[in-house]
Amino acid sequence: MRNAIVVFTKVPKAGDSKTRLTTDRGGILTREEAKEFYIASLLDVVDCCVSSNSCDVYICYDKGGDRAYLNTVLEAAADPHAIKDVFPDNGGTFDKGMQYAVDHILKNGAPSRLADSVLILGGDIPSLQQETIRKAVRTLEKLACSDNGTLVENGESSVGAAMVVSADQECGFNMLGYTCATPFNFDGVFYNQDGVTALDMVTYKAMEQQIPFGILEIVPDVDVPVDLAGFISVVKVMQLAEKYDSSVLLPKRTIKVLEALGLEASAPVPAGMLAHSG
Protein backbone atom coordinates (compact mmCIF):
# COMPACT_ATOMS: atom_id res chain seq x y z
CA MET A 1 0.00 0.00 0.00
CA ARG A 2 1.32 3.41 -0.93
CA ASN A 3 1.24 5.80 2.01
CA ALA A 4 1.49 9.57 2.27
CA ILE A 5 1.68 12.02 5.14
CA VAL A 6 0.59 15.65 4.91
CA VAL A 7 1.88 18.22 7.38
CA PHE A 8 -0.92 20.78 7.53
CA THR A 9 0.45 24.20 8.45
CA LYS A 10 0.17 27.94 8.26
CA VAL A 11 3.22 29.72 6.90
CA PRO A 12 5.07 30.95 10.04
CA LYS A 13 4.54 34.67 10.59
CA ALA A 14 5.08 36.90 13.61
CA GLY A 15 1.70 37.89 15.01
CA ASP A 16 -0.02 35.01 13.21
CA SER A 17 1.83 31.94 14.53
CA LYS A 18 0.96 30.46 17.90
CA THR A 19 -0.77 33.66 18.98
CA ARG A 20 -2.19 32.08 22.16
CA LEU A 21 1.38 31.72 23.40
CA THR A 22 2.02 35.45 23.02
CA THR A 23 1.69 38.23 25.56
CA ASP A 24 -0.95 39.74 23.25
CA ARG A 25 -3.23 36.85 24.21
CA GLY A 26 -2.18 36.37 27.83
CA GLY A 27 0.81 34.13 27.07
CA ILE A 28 4.51 34.52 27.81
CA LEU A 29 6.19 34.85 24.41
CA THR A 30 6.67 37.80 22.11
CA ARG A 31 5.26 37.53 18.62
CA GLU A 32 8.71 36.84 17.20
CA GLU A 33 9.49 34.23 19.87
CA ALA A 34 6.22 32.43 19.11
CA LYS A 35 7.10 32.42 15.44
CA GLU A 36 10.59 31.03 16.08
CA PHE A 37 9.15 28.37 18.38
CA TYR A 38 6.72 27.29 15.67
CA ILE A 39 9.39 27.19 12.96
CA ALA A 40 11.52 24.92 15.14
CA SER A 41 8.53 22.71 15.90
CA LEU A 42 7.49 22.50 12.25
CA LEU A 43 10.98 21.48 11.15
CA ASP A 44 11.24 18.86 13.91
CA VAL A 45 7.90 17.40 12.78
CA VAL A 46 8.95 17.37 9.12
CA ASP A 47 12.25 15.67 9.99
CA CYS A 48 10.39 13.04 12.01
CA CYS A 49 8.03 12.34 9.13
CA VAL A 50 10.86 12.01 6.61
CA SER A 51 13.09 9.89 8.84
CA SER A 52 10.25 7.46 9.60
CA ASN A 53 10.80 6.13 6.07
CA SER A 54 7.20 5.02 5.87
CA CYS A 55 5.37 7.64 3.81
CA ASP A 56 5.82 10.17 1.03
CA VAL A 57 5.90 13.55 2.80
CA TYR A 58 3.84 16.52 1.63
CA ILE A 59 3.31 20.01 3.06
CA CYS A 60 -0.05 21.78 2.76
CA TYR A 61 -0.04 25.46 3.73
CA ASP A 62 -2.65 28.19 4.05
CA LYS A 63 -3.79 29.63 0.74
CA GLY A 64 -2.77 33.19 1.60
CA GLY A 65 0.61 32.21 3.05
CA ASP A 66 3.95 33.38 1.68
CA ARG A 67 5.14 30.37 -0.36
CA ALA A 68 8.58 31.84 -1.01
CA TYR A 69 9.18 32.30 2.72
CA LEU A 70 7.89 28.80 3.47
CA ASN A 71 10.37 27.41 0.94
CA THR A 72 13.14 29.21 2.82
CA VAL A 73 11.98 27.72 6.12
CA LEU A 74 11.80 24.19 4.70
CA GLU A 75 15.29 24.45 3.23
CA ALA A 76 16.52 24.16 6.82
CA ALA A 77 15.00 20.68 7.16
CA ALA A 78 17.45 17.80 7.51
CA ASP A 79 16.56 16.53 4.03
CA PRO A 80 14.41 19.12 2.23
CA HIS A 81 14.62 17.21 -1.05
CA ALA A 82 12.76 14.33 0.58
CA ILE A 83 9.61 16.49 0.72
CA LYS A 84 7.51 15.22 -2.18
CA ASP A 85 5.53 18.40 -2.77
CA VAL A 86 4.39 21.64 -1.17
CA PHE A 87 0.92 22.90 -2.07
CA PRO A 88 -1.64 25.43 -0.77
CA ASP A 89 -5.08 24.54 0.53
CA ASN A 90 -8.17 26.14 -0.95
CA GLY A 91 -8.88 28.51 1.91
CA GLY A 92 -12.08 28.61 3.93
CA THR A 93 -12.66 26.76 7.19
CA PHE A 94 -10.34 24.30 8.90
CA ASP A 95 -12.69 21.50 7.85
CA LYS A 96 -12.48 22.52 4.20
CA GLY A 97 -8.72 23.02 4.32
CA MET A 98 -8.07 19.55 5.72
CA GLN A 99 -10.51 17.97 3.27
CA TYR A 100 -8.75 19.66 0.37
CA ALA A 101 -5.37 18.40 1.58
CA VAL A 102 -6.63 14.82 1.81
CA ASP A 103 -8.45 15.00 -1.53
CA HIS A 104 -5.28 16.31 -3.16
CA ILE A 105 -3.59 13.03 -2.22
CA LEU A 106 -6.36 10.43 -2.42
CA LYS A 107 -8.40 11.90 -5.29
CA ASN A 108 -11.45 9.93 -4.15
CA GLY A 109 -9.68 6.68 -4.96
CA ALA A 110 -9.13 7.48 -8.63
CA PRO A 111 -6.29 5.67 -10.42
CA SER A 112 -4.43 8.99 -10.53
CA ARG A 113 -4.28 9.15 -6.71
CA LEU A 114 -0.90 9.94 -5.20
CA ALA A 115 -1.23 7.33 -2.44
CA ASP A 116 -3.59 4.67 -1.11
CA SER A 117 -3.68 6.15 2.39
CA VAL A 118 -2.93 9.51 3.92
CA LEU A 119 -1.98 10.67 7.41
CA ILE A 120 -2.63 14.31 8.17
CA LEU A 121 -1.08 16.12 11.12
CA GLY A 122 -0.08 19.57 12.32
CA GLY A 123 3.32 21.17 12.62
CA ASP A 124 2.92 21.90 16.34
CA ILE A 125 3.52 18.40 17.77
CA PRO A 126 7.31 18.42 18.25
CA SER A 127 7.34 15.37 20.55
CA LEU A 128 6.11 13.20 17.64
CA GLN A 129 8.08 9.98 17.29
CA GLN A 130 8.97 8.00 14.17
CA GLU A 131 7.46 4.85 15.66
CA THR A 132 4.07 6.57 16.03
CA ILE A 133 4.04 7.20 12.28
CA ARG A 134 5.17 3.66 11.53
CA LYS A 135 2.50 2.25 13.82
CA ALA A 136 -0.13 4.39 12.08
CA VAL A 137 0.88 2.97 8.70
CA ARG A 138 0.99 -0.61 10.01
CA THR A 139 -2.43 -0.22 11.59
CA LEU A 140 -3.97 1.21 8.43
CA GLU A 141 -2.53 -1.61 6.35
CA LYS A 142 -3.74 -4.25 8.82
CA LEU A 143 -7.26 -2.81 9.09
CA ALA A 144 -7.55 -2.29 5.34
CA CYS A 145 -6.89 -6.00 4.88
CA SER A 146 -9.36 -7.11 7.55
CA ASP A 147 -12.66 -8.87 6.88
CA ASN A 148 -14.23 -5.46 6.42
CA GLY A 149 -11.54 -4.27 4.06
CA THR A 150 -9.75 -5.93 1.18
CA LEU A 151 -11.51 -6.91 -2.02
CA VAL A 152 -9.88 -9.17 -4.57
CA GLU A 153 -10.41 -8.37 -8.21
CA ASN A 154 -8.56 -10.00 -11.10
CA GLY A 155 -6.04 -11.43 -8.69
CA GLU A 156 -5.06 -8.01 -7.33
CA SER A 157 -6.04 -6.83 -3.86
CA SER A 158 -7.66 -3.41 -3.70
CA VAL A 159 -7.50 -1.14 -0.67
CA GLY A 160 -10.22 -1.46 1.96
CA ALA A 161 -11.60 1.06 4.41
CA ALA A 162 -9.51 1.86 7.48
CA MET A 163 -8.89 4.77 9.83
CA VAL A 164 -6.50 5.72 12.65
CA VAL A 165 -6.39 8.64 15.06
CA SER A 166 -4.11 10.08 17.72
CA ALA A 167 -5.98 12.10 20.32
CA ASP A 168 -4.62 15.32 21.75
CA GLN A 169 -5.01 16.63 25.29
CA GLU A 170 -8.09 18.78 24.58
CA CYS A 171 -10.75 16.57 22.97
CA GLY A 172 -9.25 16.91 19.52
CA PHE A 173 -6.72 15.00 17.46
CA ASN A 174 -3.24 15.70 16.16
CA MET A 175 -2.91 12.85 13.69
CA LEU A 176 -5.64 11.30 11.61
CA GLY A 177 -5.30 8.91 8.71
CA TYR A 178 -7.49 6.90 6.40
CA THR A 179 -7.41 5.01 3.12
CA CYS A 180 -8.81 6.04 -0.23
CA ALA A 181 -11.67 3.55 0.24
CA THR A 182 -12.78 5.06 3.56
CA PRO A 183 -16.18 6.83 3.61
CA PHE A 184 -15.05 9.73 5.79
CA ASN A 185 -15.07 13.51 5.34
CA PHE A 186 -14.23 16.45 7.58
CA ASP A 187 -17.60 18.16 7.23
CA GLY A 188 -18.63 19.33 10.70
CA VAL A 189 -15.59 17.90 12.48
CA PHE A 190 -14.21 21.23 13.67
CA TYR A 191 -17.23 23.42 13.01
CA ASN A 192 -20.65 22.11 14.02
CA GLN A 193 -23.72 23.63 15.65
CA ASP A 194 -24.09 21.04 18.38
CA GLY A 195 -20.94 21.68 20.41
CA VAL A 196 -19.55 18.23 19.65
CA THR A 197 -15.77 17.97 20.11
CA ALA A 198 -13.59 17.20 17.10
CA LEU A 199 -12.51 13.85 18.53
CA ASP A 200 -16.09 12.82 19.30
CA MET A 201 -17.21 13.83 15.81
CA VAL A 202 -14.52 11.65 14.26
CA THR A 203 -15.66 8.75 16.44
CA TYR A 204 -19.34 9.24 15.57
CA LYS A 205 -18.60 9.38 11.85
CA ALA A 206 -16.49 6.21 12.01
CA MET A 207 -19.19 4.39 13.99
CA GLU A 208 -21.94 5.49 11.62
CA GLN A 209 -20.01 4.26 8.57
CA GLN A 210 -18.67 1.15 10.38
CA ILE A 211 -15.12 2.09 9.45
CA PRO A 212 -12.40 -0.28 10.79
CA PHE A 213 -10.72 1.96 13.36
CA GLY A 214 -7.42 2.09 15.25
CA ILE A 215 -6.07 4.37 17.98
CA LEU A 216 -2.51 5.61 18.43
CA GLU A 217 -0.82 7.02 21.51
CA ILE A 218 -1.62 10.61 22.41
CA VAL A 219 0.61 13.17 20.71
CA PRO A 220 0.15 16.55 22.42
CA ASP A 221 0.22 19.81 20.53
CA VAL A 222 1.45 23.16 21.87
CA ASP A 223 -1.19 25.86 21.60
CA VAL A 224 -1.43 27.61 24.98
CA PRO A 225 1.00 28.29 27.87
CA VAL A 226 -0.07 25.22 29.86
CA ASP A 227 0.71 23.06 26.78
CA LEU A 228 4.15 24.66 26.59
CA ALA A 229 4.80 23.96 30.27
CA GLY A 230 3.79 20.34 29.79
CA PHE A 231 6.01 20.03 26.74
CA ILE A 232 9.03 21.39 28.65
CA SER A 233 8.59 18.62 31.23
CA VAL A 234 8.08 15.99 28.51
CA VAL A 235 11.31 17.10 26.84
CA LYS A 236 13.27 16.44 30.04
CA VAL A 237 11.86 12.92 30.18
CA MET A 238 12.73 12.40 26.51
CA GLN A 239 16.29 13.62 27.04
CA LEU A 240 16.81 11.18 29.89
CA ALA A 241 15.21 8.28 27.99
CA GLU A 242 17.28 9.00 24.88
CA LYS A 243 20.46 8.26 26.83
CA TYR A 244 19.31 4.65 27.18
CA ASP A 245 17.20 4.23 24.03
CA SER A 246 18.59 5.45 20.71
CA SER A 247 15.16 5.09 19.07
CA VAL A 248 13.91 8.15 20.99
CA LEU A 249 13.92 11.11 18.59
CA LEU A 250 14.59 14.41 20.33
CA PRO A 251 13.04 17.59 18.87
CA LYS A 252 16.44 19.26 18.87
CA ARG A 253 15.45 22.50 17.19
CA THR A 254 12.55 23.08 19.56
CA ILE A 255 14.73 22.24 22.55
CA LYS A 256 17.30 24.79 21.37
CA VAL A 257 14.64 27.51 21.18
CA LEU A 258 13.39 26.68 24.68
CA GLU A 259 16.93 26.80 26.04
CA ALA A 260 17.50 30.18 24.43
CA LEU A 261 14.29 31.47 26.02
CA GLY A 262 15.35 30.12 29.41
CA LEU A 263 11.92 28.69 30.14
CA GLU A 264 11.18 26.19 32.90
CA ALA A 265 7.94 24.53 33.93
CA SER A 266 6.67 24.96 37.47
CA ALA A 267 3.74 23.78 39.57
CA PRO A 268 2.21 26.51 41.75
CA VAL A 269 1.88 25.61 45.42
CA PRO A 270 -1.78 25.82 46.53
CA ALA A 271 -2.52 28.66 48.94
CA GLY A 272 -2.12 27.61 52.56
CA MET A 273 -0.10 24.46 51.85
CA LEU A 274 3.21 25.94 52.96
CA ALA A 275 1.67 27.19 56.17
CA HIS A 276 0.59 23.66 57.10
CA SER A 277 3.59 21.79 55.72
CA GLY A 278 5.35 21.71 59.07
pLDDT tens readout for residues 195-246: 899 999 999 999 999 999 999 999 999 999 999 999 999 999 999 999 999 9
| Contact assessment for residue 83 and residue 77, using Cβ atoms and an 8 Å cutoff | yes
Question: Does the pLDDT at position 255 exceed 80?
Answer: yes
Tally the C-alpha atoms within 13 A of residue 181's C-alpha that lie toward its C-beta. 20
Q: How far apart are CA 136 and CA 127, in angstroms?
A: 16
Q: Which residue has the higher pLDDT, 268 or 232?
A: 232
Rounded to two decimals, the pTM is 0.92
What CATH number is given for 3-268 in this structure? 3.90.550.10
What are the tens digits of pLDDT across the range 11-23? 999 999 999 999 9
pLDDT-based confidence at 152, cuts 50/70/90? very low
Tell me what percent of the residues of the chain surpass a pLDDT of 70: 93
- What are the backbone dihedrals phi and psi of residue 57, each rounded to the nearest 5 degrees, phi first? -105, 130
pLDDT at 273: 62
| Contact assessment for residue 77 and residue 50, using Cβ atoms and an 8 Å cutoff | yes
Question: Does the pLDDT at position 271 exceed 90?
Answer: no
Question: Does the pLDDT at position 153 exceed 50?
Answer: no
What are the tens digits of pLDDT across the range 81-94? 999 999 999 988 88
Q: How far apart are CA 132 and CA 29, in angstroms?
A: 30
Neighbours of 169 (CB within 10 A): 14
| Contact assessment for residue 178 and residue 114, using Cβ atoms and an 8 Å cutoff | no
